[in-house]
Amino acid sequence: MEGPLVEINLPPMDADWNGAIAFLDRDGVLNIGSPEYINSKEELVILEGTSDAIQSLREAGYRIVITTNQSAVMRGKWGPEVLTEVHSALQEELGVIDVILSCPHRYRDRCRCRKPHPGMLNEASEIIRDVSHTSLDWWGEKPKPIHPLDLMVGDRYSDMGAGWAVGARLFKVNENLGLASVIDRILEGDEGDLFNPVG
Catalytic residue ranges: 25, 27
**Whole-number Cα distances in Å, 70 to 13, 82, 149, 153, 176:** 29, 11, 27, 17, 19
* Phi (first) and psi of residue 56, to 5 degrees: -65, -40
Tell me whether residue 137 is exposed, middle or buried, using C-beta atoms within 10 angstroms of its C-beta: 0 to 12, 13 to 18, 19 or more. Answer: exposed
Give 114's contacts (C-beta < 8 A, 6+ positions apart).
Answer: 69, 71, 103, 105, 107, 158
